[in-house]
Structure 1
Amino acid sequence: VIGIMAIEMAGGVYCPLSPQDPQHRLDALVQQTQSRLVLVHDLTKTKLYQNIVLLDIDSVLTNTKMNTIIHVGRLSSVTVIPDNMAYIIFTSGSTGTPKPAQLRHRNFTQSIQSLVHVDIFNKNDIIIQMARCSFDLHVQEILGTLIIGATVIMLHPQGNYDFEYLSMLMERKQITFLYTVPTLLQLFFTFIKDTKKAYVMQYLRSLCTGGERCSVQLVELFESILRNDCAIWNLCGPSETTLQSLFHRVNSQVDTETIPLGKPLPNYSCMVEDSFGQPLIVGEEGEILVRGVGIFAGYLGRNDLTAKALVEIDGQVYYRTGDLVRMNNNGLLHYQGRKDHQIK
């Protein structure tokens, strides 16, 4: 957390890498970003090749005698403007080839404001940090939580798979907001039900899921455990649109067959078009294009990919998601698959 905040406050660009990736992949990603410095700690400092410049944050924090010419007071004069890049997240897309998506500060802050506007989370929430660093959700859970004045609870390594530990924290820390993928929620809520620990969810007011299809059966499992006033949200959005761009408050009494992706968040809009670029009407299947405050700045060093991903329509820039959807009579979007047949 300190490292991420330090990078942003110093005017740098944060690019998370997963220590679970093989060494040759990590080296390739570092070279792709042309990074001058890699911030590591004691458990990750051996993950990269020796010719890469490393900064061990553990050494910095414990070495009180370290001589430095850096004047900390000058940090306050560092100018960071909304159009500066805030972070780079690698998204593999359908090709499996990592693509470095660049997000600006304004993309991130305004996307967070959209979530706050519909009360998906707010300054009074206590949020548990679940996502791996290779997913952009962790930026929301950490920085997004802190900039709105909420509280973030960090887990010990692999703590999101230790359900005894996780359920203990849910109660002890009075967690009000939880967000992770349906697969993990299925396992966790099944554990809660089997061990009769529904009471650990007593403080939860907002449960969010995304990244995979959410089934009606899974929602029914949630509802059998959660308080009646706990909101269940299905959130959707590729990294290129910053965090989430579509949302839907789920109710199994209404969503009886499938769970919709929903509708655009505030400050976002979308259109559905056919293979000829023509807009579609209700009930027809087509690709969803998204525009709004979160549209990314492009892929670092890959103008060719950026040109394919972004399209200007009537003076507005849209991102081609590659996702196929169908709109129902209520204006809600339902996921139908991928143009490239990728499985999500």
Structure 2
Amino acid sequence: VIGMMAIEMIGAVYCPLSSRDPELRLSELVEQTESRLVLIHYLTQAKFNDDIMSLDIDRVFTDIDVARHISIDRLSSVVIAPKNIAYIIFTSGSTGIPKAYHLPKHVHIWNTYGPAEATVDCTFHILNISVDIAGVPIGHPLSHYLCLILDNFLQSVVISQEGELYVGGVGVFAGYLKRDDLTAKALIRIDDETFYRTGDLVRMDSNGLLHYQGRKDHQIKLHGQRIELGEIEQCLLNTSISACVVIKWNDDHLIAYVQSSNINEEQLHKHCQSHLPPHMIPSIFVILEKLPLNANG
């Protein structure tokens, strides 16, 4: 998705290829589209020979020298007209040769926001690369949704002031199954309308667009999955350890710092595998005799 959006933002044309296709077929498709560059990753790098110019997208994220030469300001000079081609898609061809059809750039890129408790999407913003250089807003509420930005006293904040986002409307959930305690904390009635406390901090700019600022609690998002770090910590505390802290590191991994003298990393990993889904299992366990504390404990 990142590669697709990058190609669109620079005004180029993208064509999705399947890693399940054989090498010969992939080479034929690349030749048919006259592609000048193929984005690859560790699972697909062996699919293309040296005659095809390729770029390892994983290297772009990890190579400091590559990142240093990226100029976001140059995007403002990209001119995109509706008649330009957005992407090319292949369909099966009756002659044995796949047919390629291309679509113009009337297709918009939408940035949508919404938790599962609000039926996934409740706000939207159509990406405008000439304006959204500094950051992409989460936009305006969808039809039949309401969004309030409130402070800790449930009072509305002023323009550009940060506050917690409350979502109301047709898609707000009915509650957590058999967890009335959590439901009571998550839902609130305001002016005879039920609103969901998202826990997300946002601000509104002078154009009425919502901008995501972060979380009010310790919930994080990793690889598209919402994760409560406290749930992982509680799982680990059910072992012989006496204390632990779980953090997100480098937007890609979970690290668990545990206080114990009689447990090893393998035991902790097996325990987590038995009680947590794969995306919530820490990648690294750091075992310490005592967790360092500040003056306030």
**Fold match, TM over 0.5?**
no
**Which is bigger in relative contact order (C-alpha 8 A, separation at least 6)?**
1
Per the normalisation by structure 1, the TM-score is: 0.37
Per the normalisation by structure 2, the TM-score is: 0.42
Q: Which is richer in helix? A: 1
Q: Which is richer in strand? A: 2
